[in-house]
Amino acid sequence: MGGKKWATRFALAAAFAYAAAKVAGRWRKADLRGEVAVIVGGSRGLGLMIARELAAAGCRLVIGARDVDQLRVAQRDLEARGAEVLIWPCDVGNRRDIDLLVAEAGERFGRIDILVNVAGLIQVGPAESMTIDNFRDAFAVNFWGPLHAMDAVIAQMQERGHGRIVNITSIGGELPVPHLLPYVTAKADYVLNCIPMHLLAGIEHNFPKEFAAGLTSIPRGKLFKIGFQMKERFWEKEGIYGGISWTLQDIQQLWYPAHGINRQKGVMLGAYTFDPAAGEKFARLAPADRFKLAIAQGEKIHPGYGSYVETGVSVAWHQMNHMLGCAAQWDEELWKKWFKTLQTPVGNHYLMGDQVSYHPGWQEGAMASAHFAIADIDARERAAGSVAA
Ligand SMILES: Cc1cc2nc3c(=O)[nH]c(=O)nc-3n(C[C@H](O)[C@H](O)[C@H](O)COP(=O)(O)OP(=O)(O)OC[C@H]3O[C@@H](n4cnc5c(N)ncnc54)[C@H](O)[C@@H]3O)c2cc1C
């Protein structure tokens, strides 16, 4: 047991030294003189090694860590190497602490050019001895810590069009290490990505050409819906209790609620169109005009329909933020040409969701895609010998 612990620690120390050498190699190539670097978890170990490299490269330093005494020791060490150093006690799992650190760095140096997230938490022990709190702590430091810090600095870096972020992750995210379950869980680095692929194509990436071409090759639907709140459940007076009326008009369908039977009011679907031309037609109208058109068409099915409308809401999915179109519109040809390319992971990145399934536009498709990815990851991990058979 003791032997295993030391083997684990040795392996991690070797991995840290390798990471430090890699990072340092990169610094040496860039001119960093005068840049302001924040090192979260920079008071000792790998963080301090990186801070020393940055000091040697001429950076001004902000070091965040929990222990003030250790921070002071690190400050003296770095100042002796000629660096200007601000130390700031903080717990990376605590967003407020990170915001204060970033504010203080801004106050002292005016900006942040480099963020290095090094802080990490390792609890060593067999899985059965690990508590939920161990996992919570591992995620707070290893996952939320870097995310908090990145979120706190990215806006100012984007504004200046300049910035560097280094996240020290771990081989433990690729290959689970025995006796480090909370740590490797929080460092896991598979990406299961359900961002709509036509939007993903617009985010800076390094996907292979063929995969990137696939992202923009599957058209999206233009579904459109209107919901009307009706003063009275007039349909029930006509003997309708739920169900759909189909029409060849632009609104295509009227849906009646199958719940709230015999109440005073009810919300019904006043339009639900799959036809892209009808979707476009509605989308181009102002909300009030969308209602006018839908009411005029509804009147042809239920005379007096408009007099019941109290209020309404309309959604054109191809105009909705973060979607810009719903349901990937596959056909036989597209499935043949692109499905395998888009479903096959690119390294550790999996494109997910109903958009990469044989049931696009249905939750069943999203689940099928998740099952595919999980089974594939499981097979990979088993093949790598990291999961017991
Ligand atoms: C009008 C309509 C009716 C539907 N009716 C049914 C039905 O009756 N039954 C049924 O089973 N299914 C139905 N569906 C389909 C169902 O909603 C989808 O199958 C399901 O939501 C797909 O889940 P997903 O996780 O694949 O994708 P989504 O739920 O679409 O998730 C994609 C996520 O990516 C996020 N995102 C976008 N851009 C970015 C970015 N740059 N960074 C980070 N995140 C980003 C989005 O905000 C979103 O949360 C309907 C869909 C629509 C639009």
What lies within 8 Å, CB to CB, of 158 at 6+ separation is none
**Residue 346 contacts residue 207 (beta carbons within 8 Å):** yes
> Which amino acid residue places its CA nearest to atom 26 of ligand 1?
353
Q: Percent of the chain having pLDDT more than 90?
A: 71
- Asked if residue 89 and residue 21 are part of one domain, the reply reads yes
Residue 251 near residue 361, CB atoms below 8 Å: no
96 CA to centre of ligand 1 in angstroms? 32
How high is the pLDDT of residue 153?
94
What is the tens place of the pLDDT at every residue in 45-87?
999 999 999 999 999 999 999 999 999 999 999 999 999 999 9
Query: Is the beta carbon of 195 within 6 A of some atom in ligand 1?
Result: yes
The answer on 314 and 234 residing in a single domain is: yes
Catalytic positions: 183
Contacts of 75 (CB under 8 A, 6+ apart): 63, 85, 87
- The type of residue at 223 is L
Q: Which two tokens stand for residue 119?
A: 């802080």
Which candidate, 270, 121, 281, places its Cα nearest to that of 185?
Answer: 121
How many structural domains compose the chain?
A: 3
Query: Which atom of ligand 1 lies closest to the CA of 323?
Result: 37
> Is any ligand 1 atom within 6 A of the Cβ of residue 212?
no
- DSSP letters, 82-124, are T--EEEEE--TT-HHHHHHHHHHHHHHHS---EEEE-------
Is residue 2 pLDDT above 50, yes or no? no
Same domain membership, residue 350 and residue 201: yes
Looking at the fold, whether 234 and 260 belong to one and the same domain comes out as: yes
**Mean per-residue pLDDT for 259-271?**
97
pLDDT band at 10 (very low <50, low <70, confident <90, very high): very low
Percent of the chain with pLDDT over 70: 88
Is the pLDDT at 3 greater than 70, yes or no?
Answer: no
Element (H, E) at 62: strand 60-65
HEC per residue, 5-25: HHHHHHHHHHHHHHHHHHHHH
Confidence of residue 17 (pLDDT cuts 50, 70, 90): low
Could you read off the pLDDT of 166-215 as tens digits, one per residue? 988 776 665 666 777 777 666 666 889 999 999 999 998 889 999 999 99
Q: Is 199 in the pocket of ligand 1 (CB under 6 A)?
A: yes
Distance from C-alpha of 230 to C-alpha of 138, rounded to nearest angstrom:
51
Give per-residue burial for 267-280: e unless 16+ CB within 10 Å, then b: bbbbbbbeebebbe
> What is the Cα–Cα distance from 261 to 235, expressed in whole angstroms?
10
Asked whether the predicted pLDDT for residue 14 surpasses 60, the reply is: no
Query: Do residue 28 and residue 62 come from a single domain?
Result: yes
Instruction: Provide the pLDDT for residue 127.
Output: 81
> CATH number of the domain that 371 lies in?
3.50.50.60
Nearest CA to ligand 1 atom 31: 194
Flag whether 388 is in a domain. Answer: no
Backbone angles phi, psi at 188, to 5 degrees: -55, 140
Range of the domain at 342: 197-219+329-383
274-318: pLDDT as tens digits: 999 999 999 999 999 999 999 999 999 999 999 999 999 999 999
> Which ligand 1 atom lies nearest to the CA of residue 326?
53
For ligand 1, what atom is nearest to the CA of residue 223? 1
Residue 7: pLDDT band (50, 70, 90) is very low
Ligand 1 and 10: CB distance under 6 A: no
Q: Are 143 and 268 within one domain?
A: no
Verify that 78 and 129 share a domain, yes or no: yes
Distance from the alpha carbon of residue 174 to the mean position of ligand 1, in angstroms: 29
Mean pLDDT of 121-144: 85
Ligand 1 centroid distance, CA of 275 (Å) = 19
Same domain, 305 and 185: no
Q: Tell me what the mean pLDDT of segment 137-162 comes to.
A: 90
Among residues 319, 340, 370, which one ends one of the domains? 319
Going edge to edge, which strands form the sheet with 36-40? 85-89, 60-65, 36-40, 114-117, 164-167
Per DSSP, 338 falls in state: H
- Please tell me the pTM assigned to this model: 0.62
Answer yes or no: do 168 and 210 share one domain. no
Find out whether the beta carbon of 194 lies less than 6 Å from any atom of ligand 1: yes
Residue 299 and residue 362 in one domain:
no
